[in-house]
Amino acid sequence: MTSAGRPYRRRKNVTVVSLLLLVLSLTLGPTPSSAAGTDWWNPTARPAPDSQVNVTGEPFTGTNAKGEVRGFVDAHDHIFSNEAFGGRLICGKPFSEQGVADALKDCPEHYPDGSLAIFDFITNGGDGKHDPVGWPTFKDWPRHDSLTHQQNYYAWIERAWRGGQRVLVNDLVTNGVICSVYFFKDRSCDEMTSIRLQAKLTYDMQAFVDKMYGGTGKGWFRIVTDSAQARHVIEQGKLAVILGVETSEPFGCKQVLDIAQCSKEDIDKGLDELYSLGVRSMFLCHKFDNALCGVRFDSGGLGTAINVGQFLSTGTFWKTETCKGPQHDNPIGNATAAEAEKELPAGVEVPSYSADAQCNVRGLTDLGEYAVRGMMKRKMMLEIDHMSVKATGRVLDIFESASYPGVLSSHSWMDLDWTERVYGLGGFVAQYMHGSEGFIAEAKRTEALRDKYGVGYGYGTDMNGVGGWPGPRGADAPDKVTYPFKSVDGGSVIGRQTTGQRTWDLNTDGAAHYGLVPDWIEDIRRVGGQDVVDDLFRGAESYLDTWGASENHASGVNLASGAATSASSSEWSLFTSYQPSRAVDGDSRTRWASDWSDNQSYQVDLGSTQLVRRVTLDWERAYGKSYRIELSTDGVNWRTAWSMTAGDGGLDTARFAGTPARYVRVHGTQRGTEWGYSLYEVGVHSS
């Protein structure tokens, strides 16, 4: 779920209740051969009446000549967000046992003319009035800029699958704050209750599709819980559906006045439950800072409005500092949001922010780090979009120290300068579903990196995510989509999509619903050429590479754990110990600290000669700006294996060619602070 108004899309002005509510919304089988003699891709008992799919031809199956799966990946969608936020914010359902007329109907308060479509006019401007009738006329919805109506009807997703998509990540999403303030709801606002329901309904939708095809396991919509299962599904020509979570307070980890409202036990219990539901990827924070991590800001008047929401939710405004590296959070600025600011208590004002201080002071908290390591333990993938750069940097440090590849950026909300670090880990990147020109420009910018790392590309539609989607380029636009057109693999023919009495054309309607994803990809091909589409067609393989590598990751043995240690000096304290052994005791709360001078060293005796390839250093605030890693087999003759001259603290990972060594020494030559050198943990690894 994202904000209304991403890059490449014009922000809309909002008023009164608008800014505040908008803020709160943002917190947001058998193989084919078994069907010999029949068209296995067509159902035997589709409901009647129902939407058309308007694609002919057999979906591609199997793998390419290299044994790789093929197909597009949508890394960020919200099929069941109609069940979120109290159940009356997104109108319509992805499917209904009572048929399309029941599924594709508006919320009751939108009748007769949309006058009470409050969230619609908040997000879309104007007065919100519209024709509420969905099936069969669809006069006013779904639309590319209507953020409150169902875009994920199952037959529209079916059309995307028939057009070449082979992976869909269904992010279970909700926000307790928006639920609590929105005027219309028909259920409780408990986030986990909504997540459980959305997971159940995803399985129900799988059964609904299966029933059309003759029984369990026979449909094209297949929920998968491991990468091998996903590959098998895709090789059959079907759609692999993966469950993710994007919510503002996972595990109840809200923070109020900087005090966490959850514990490590809550995190473990929550992760275990999500995993048992089939969830394999998730976000740890969204629009408001929580007990796990700080967020990446929004800008302008919208940013100010969200900051008001941050205060109302947490009791604190965003706090900024000067960025320590090239990455930065979005600038907050000092724009006003008068109507939202009226909601603040008397005497409370939104702070002013310096243009030179653009980074969130809140990074990854201790509880957040516990959650990250808990996800690694469970081989889950972590979404870094919406994390502050301080939090993202720490996450990437942790993953690099363990060579853990499970990092995802699914819809363009990380600092783009992180892209190579994500690829270097083996992670996966997808871009938000921008208009074709904007999407192509960003894809071209990172094309060399994809070539360097041999990876494909993805998109994140974020449909049902209150974000807005590509508008029409026009009936007379150059290189417009010409119907019918062939699918990327060449095996299917795709015509204009019709549901009931309405036929959509990407050129004049834009990306109004999920069924127009193939049309949007064709628009990219016509405007930007085949290269970008080829990268997208390799997306399924790359996503599964990241997932499979995460599943197969083995934690390397820390050769330094409990080893004999020594140091040139150790700071003395009456209350605690800073002796060298404290940095190899496996406790991240204890540390070694040196005297306050530059030339200091810390040494580990591994007990016998080992092959050493990697050393990790988890610095306390007193870090080394310049230091080197030295190795020795006898403790007398040393060689430098790695050096650093621009250290900035945090978690450093030194990698070098495998070298036999019994002794490992960290030799500090220049401190980064007025204090000495201080290390929470030192790791030495052979892998």
pLDDT, residue 299, reads 85
- Does the pLDDT of residue 217 top 50, yes or no? yes
- Does the pLDDT of residue 140 top 50, yes or no? yes
- Does the pLDDT of residue 227 top 90, yes or no? yes
Cα radius of gyration rounded to whole Å, the chain:
27
Q: How confident is the model at residue 15 (pLDDT cuts 50, 70, 90)?
A: very low
* Average confidence (pLDDT) over 377-401: 96
Q: Can you read off the two tokens belonging to residue 426?
A: 């083996």
Q: CATH no. for residue 537? A: 3.20.20.140
Lowest mean pLDDT among 22-31, 42-51, 110-119, 355-364: 22-31
Range of the domain at 416: 72-86+148-291+375-552
Is 597 contained in some domain?
yes
pLDDT, residue 27, reads 39
Residue 367 Cα distances to 36, 190, 244, 550, 612, angstroms: 54, 21, 20, 22, 31
Do 514 and 421 belong to one domain?
yes
**Percent residues over pLDDT 90 in the chain:** 82
Distance separating alpha carbons of residues 537 and 597, to the nearest angstrom = 56
Q: Can you read off the two tokens belonging to residue 446?
A: 């990172």
pLDDT, residue 309, reads 82
Q: How confident is the model at residue 183 (pLDDT cuts 50, 70, 90)?
A: confident
Is 42 contained in some domain?
no
- pLDDT tens, residue by residue, 241-289: 999 999 989 999 999 999 999 999 999 999 999 999 999 999 999 888 9
Do 256 and 305 belong to one domain?
no
| Beta-ladder partners of 59 | none
Helix/strand/coil for 171: strand
- pLDDT tens, residue by residue, 651-682: 999 999 999 999 999 999 999 999 999 999 99
Q: Can you read off the two tokens belonging to residue 566?
A: 């020594």
Do 311 and 183 belong to one domain?
no
Distance separating alpha carbons of residues 624 and 619, to the nearest angstrom = 8
- Cis amide leading into 136 (omega within 30): yes
Q: Are residues 659 and 634 in contact, defined by beta-carbon separation less than 8 angstroms?
A: no
* Average confidence (pLDDT) over 596-620: 96
Instruction: Please identify, among 336, 361, 386, the residue that sits at the C-terminal boundary of a domain.
Output: 361
Domain tally for the chain?
3
Is 442 contained in some domain?
yes
Do 256 and 189 belong to one domain?
yes
pLDDT, residue 2, reads 61
- pLDDT tens, residue by residue, 148-163: 999 999 999 999 999 9
* Average confidence (pLDDT) over 509-530: 98
Do 514 and 420 belong to one domain?
yes
pTM above 0.75, yes or no: yes
According to the 3-state scheme, what is the secondary structure of 128-154?
CCCCCCCCCCCCCCCCCCCCCECCCCH
Lowest mean pLDDT among 125-139, 391-405, 519-533: 125-139
Q: CATH no. for residue 624? A: 2.60.120.260
Do 406 and 504 belong to one domain?
yes
Is 587 contained in some domain?
yes
Is 34 contained in some domain?
no
Nearest to 617 by CA among 574, 678, 663, 535: 678
The string over 33-50, giving b where at least 16 C-beta atoms fall within 10 Å of a residue's C-beta and e elsewhere, is: eebeeeebbebeeebeeb
Instruction: Please identify, among 525, 552, 579, the residue that sits at the C-terminal boundary of a domain.
Output: 552
Residue 539 Cα distances to 90, 151, 457, 535, 605, angstroms: 29, 23, 5, 7, 46
Helix/strand/coil for 580: helix
Distance separating alpha carbons of residues 461 and 468, to the nearest angstrom = 10
Distance separating alpha carbons of residues 401 and 683, to the nearest angstrom = 9
Instruction: Please identify, among 332, 361, 390, the residue that sits at the C-terminal boundary of a domain.
Output: 361
Average pLDDT of the chain, as a whole number: 92
Do 578 and 472 belong to one domain?
no
Distance separating alpha carbons of residues 87 and 364, to the nearest angstrom = 32
pLDDT, residue 19, reads 43
Q: Are residues 79 and 243 in contact, defined by beta-carbon separation less than 8 angstroms?
A: no
Do 286 and 307 belong to one domain?
no
Does residue 607 come out as left (phi exceeding 0), alpha (psi in the -120 to 50 range) or beta?
Answer: left
Do 533 and 568 belong to one domain?
no
Nearest to 163 by CA among 74, 55, 52: 55
Is 649 contained in some domain?
yes
Do 334 and 394 belong to one domain?
no
| Residues contacting residue 98 through CB under 8 Å, at least 6 positions apart | none
- Does the pLDDT of residue 422 top 60, yes or no? yes
Is 38 contained in some domain?
no
Do 533 and 607 belong to one domain?
no
Is 339 contained in some domain?
yes
pLDDT, residue 91, reads 95
pLDDT, residue 125, reads 67
Do 417 and 511 belong to one domain?
yes
